[in-house]
Structure 1
Amino acid sequence: MNGTRVVVLGAGIVGAACARELALAGLEVTVLDRGGPGAATTSHGEGNVLVSDKAPGPELRLAQLSRRLWPEVLSAIADRSPTAARRVEAVEWHAKGGIVVATTEEGAHGLTEFAAAQREVQVRAEALTADALRAAEPFVTPAHTAAVHYPEDAQVQPAGAAAALLTDALAAGAVLRTGEEVLAGVARSGRLTGVRTPLGLLEADLFVNAAGPWSGALAARLGAPVAVEPRRGDVLVTTPLPPTVFHKVYDADYVGAVGSSEEELQTSAVVESTRAGSVLIGSSRRRVGFDDRLRPEVLSAVAAKALRLFPSLAGVPVMRAYGGFRPYVPDHLPVIGPDPRLAGLWHASGHEGAGIGLSVGTGRLLRNLVLEEPPEIDTHPFRVDRPAVLGPGSEHGWAPSPTAEPRQRDTGPLQQDTGPQEQQHRGEEQEPEQNQEGT
């Protein structure tokens, strides 16, 4: 595969991880983003590297693979040079562990069953007594009904982690191009052979759609829509505090909120500290398109849930709040692999709020698939041609899905090259969407 040209569309953490794996494999990689590296979804995350919130199944297997890879990847980057080692320090890898706390009898029953199922697939999930919970988290509410410790949970600084992965990709020969929006795709004989940007035509053998919440719109612009949509989350950040929260601590109802497909607001308590002493407070999930306005009622609901878990946070100043968009797929599984409708187009998206943690595993699986190497885990559940991504009947031949149909303004022109004269797809004169971040 040496000499194969790959363009990774998106310079967030998933795109960076994919670019690193492919560049290290000897492919000629260009990373293209209409903004800056890690400037959109990645920079608006909390940095979670979790196994605790995933039920037995394909996403948990990907999370376990990623959790194993993270220390290996960071160690490999640090070994490159003293400069690389300093960049790894900015990743702020912290294997702090997570604690899930139930505050109702129903929650305790659900948490106990959930943890038992996870133990069956080799997740370390340790039930905590009241005394053990108090020793681990002295400020957590005494009104709890059950608690489970997940020592494998970890945290990174998202922008620092993305920068380390991308820089290692560049050191391996990748090229970064920012400030270039994809305006259209160019195809020949059913194969995507190039993308047009304001600077001209960029040709390659493979194109990886790693545009996060914008993956659906970008795929439609390339002529192969997928049902990846934005789902918004908001986070509160306190002023620096004395040591108050020592693990990632969240309420047992968080797992239900993650797995919900409701469009209305879903909130649950997720509380953790940073190395600087600030406490991050989440979480919320809303399907509001690309509406980036902070809503006071959402932040208030998030704060109220957190105070149930940590009453001692009452009166602590909040110095800022931020929100971001996550790539949502109806069946809550990432989309990883080649597009069956358009040769040359690959996808690495749909991780919703787990993209930081799952990024390195996704990059490894993409490399395995591109190079036709045997993957460590089954990639079939993440395939593009499944009903949640392409619509009903897609497992037996693609059928368009109403949820995959792009809005009129989101569709850019697909240019079909049928010979010396490029034939223009209908809708070429439509204005491309201008208010989105990312590629």
Structure 2
Amino acid sequence: MTRVVVLGAGMVGAACARELALAGFEVAVVDRGGPAAATTAHGEGNVLVSDKPPGPELELALLSRRLWPRILAALPDARAAEWEPKGGIVVATTGESADALRAFAASQRAAGVAAEDLDAAALAAAEPHLTRDCAAAVHYPGDAQVQPAGAATALLADAVRAGAVLHCGREVTGAVARGGRLTGVRTAEGVVGGDAFVNAAGPWSGEVAGRLGVRLAVRPRRGEVLVTAPLPPTVFHKVYDADYVGAVGADAGDLRASAVVESTRAGTLLLGSSRRRVGFDARIRPEVLSVIAGRALRLFPSLAGVPVMRAYGGFRPYVADHLPVIGADPRLDGLWHATGHEGAGIGLSAGTAAVLRDLMLGREPDIDAAPFRVDRPAVRSGGETG
């Protein structure tokens, strides 16, 4: 039986561990902390198709969206995932952004995404507390949400039921290789051996790859979220400004922010979002939180008097061409990668795990995996997209 060691117990690592264990691999999961304790615990839980232009990432998102309900239906503790197929609404507040939103939605429809234009009356009925100062709105019924830590731990639990073994508190410090093949990873607690190793360490994937002897241009990009006190039902979809798509795709390292507002089952509202490249600087910046709050208030003015209960931030694995990295590393036999999803890892994890499983089994994945290959320029050249 092939022994696979998954490096990372976040959402992507958990999804990969489950798929590989169910496929018959002998799986071990190694994480320097605990399950879902880092990037996964600091996300919003988005499972989105609305923010992705036609292309490879959208294909991966559509695959993932098809797989998520099937996966949850098979989990004994699926309730922990808090699956909410609530749909998303994207709004434009200027004429220019309205034109861009309509064109973007049309291109997505051509790629198979359900995207419904909303007039003013339909928008008011769907989101009665939303500002009426909207020039255009599009409803995406395929958008959904999970509770990220709950979903990841449910996936890990299912992997363990299928035979996977979880090793927490083990930081990878180096590689053991024989004849150009990776045969083990060194940790302070000793060597963990295997036949194949999956680097699913999220924002730390670049560091982990370096310790194993290869270069991987995955860097951290930081995001922050505000959490309000619990409210009566106020926001019924994931609602965001059309500028969000531009912020996701931006290459600049300075602050990019847009209004993103959604509810949780607990009644709180999550207010985002920001994107900054600041290395692993974990300090919360009040000026960033102020920008997030101000943009949220433009969409929902009635939130002006609502208390903010807390704020949190986390790091997302950024790749310069904004595509995940999925597949075998041609420079080191036995090393695979499943990383680089930036802020979309929760939603894309299901499809990523399925693609990785098929590649490791020598099967043709349901979508073309070539755009996610490890040896493409943006991944191997320090972040240049050329």
Give the letter for the 1:312 counterpart: S
The partner residue of 2:30 within 17, 32, 43 is: 32
TM superposition shift of 1:402: 7.6
Asked if 1:248 corresponds to 2:246, the answer is: no
Give the letter for the 1:121 counterpart: A
TM superposition shift of 1:375: 0.7
Asked if 1:362 corresponds to 2:360, the answer is: no
Secondary structure of 1:184 counterpart: strand
Asked if 1:12 corresponds to 2:2, the answer is: no
Aligned-partner Cα distance in 2 for 1:352–1:200: 31
Aligned-partner Cα distance in 1 for 2:7–2:36: 12
The partner residue of 1:298 within 280, 288, 291 is: 288
TM superposition shift of 1:183: 1.0
Aligned-partner Cα distance in 2 for 1:335–1:353: 14
Q: What is aligned with 1:338?
A: 328
Q: What is aligned with 2:40?
A: 42
Q: What is aligned with 2:79?
A: 89
Q: CA RMSD in A?
A: 1.0
Secondary structure of 1:96 counterpart: coil
- Confirm or deny: 8 A CA contact 2:319 2:342 kept in the other structure: yes
Q: What is aligned with 1:117?
A: 107
Asked if 1:134 corresponds to 2:134, the answer is: no
The partner residue of 2:144 within 131, 154, 163 is: 154
- The residue correspondences of 1:241-390 to structure 2 (distance < 5 A) are 241-390=231-380
- 1:331-364 Cα shifts (integer Å, max 9, x gaps): 0000000001000000000000000000011000
Secondary structure of 1:64 counterpart: helix
TM superposition shift of 1:246: 0.3
Aligned-partner Cα distance in 1 for 2:164–2:216: 27
TM superposition shift of 1:90: 1.3
- 1:268-287 Cα shifts (integer Å, max 9, x gaps): 00000001110000000000
- Confirm or deny: 8 A CA contact 2:321 2:378 kept in the other structure: yes
- Confirm or deny: 8 A CA contact 2:320 2:383 kept in the other structure: no
TM superposition shift of 1:225: 1.4
- The residue correspondences of 1:162-177 to structure 2 (distance < 5 A) are 162-177=152-167
Runs (4+) off by over 3 Å: 401-404
TM-score, normalised via structure 2 length: 0.99
- 1:116-155 Cα shifts (integer Å, max 9, x gaps): 0000011000000000000000011111100000000000
Residue ranges of structure 1 left out of the alignment (5+ in a row): 78-83, 392-400, 405-439
TM superposition shift of 1:288: 0.2
Aligned-partner Cα distance in 2 for 1:225–1:192: 15
Q: Percent identity?
A: 72
Secondary structure of 1:90 counterpart: helix
TM superposition shift of 1:403: 7.0
- 1:398-421 Cα shifts (integer Å, max 9, x gaps): xxx4879xxxxxxxxxxxxxxxxx
Secondary structure of 1:314 counterpart: helix
Aligned-partner Cα distance in 1 for 2:384–2:362: 31
Aligned-partner Cα distance in 2 for 1:280–1:197: 37
TM superposition shift of 1:213: 0.1
Give the letter for the 2:119 counterpart: T
Asked if 1:193 corresponds to 2:218, the answer is: no
Residue ranges of structure 2 left out of the alignment (5+ in a row): none
Give the letter for the 1:229 counterpart: R
**Count of matched residue positions in the alignment of Structure 1 and Structure 2:** 385
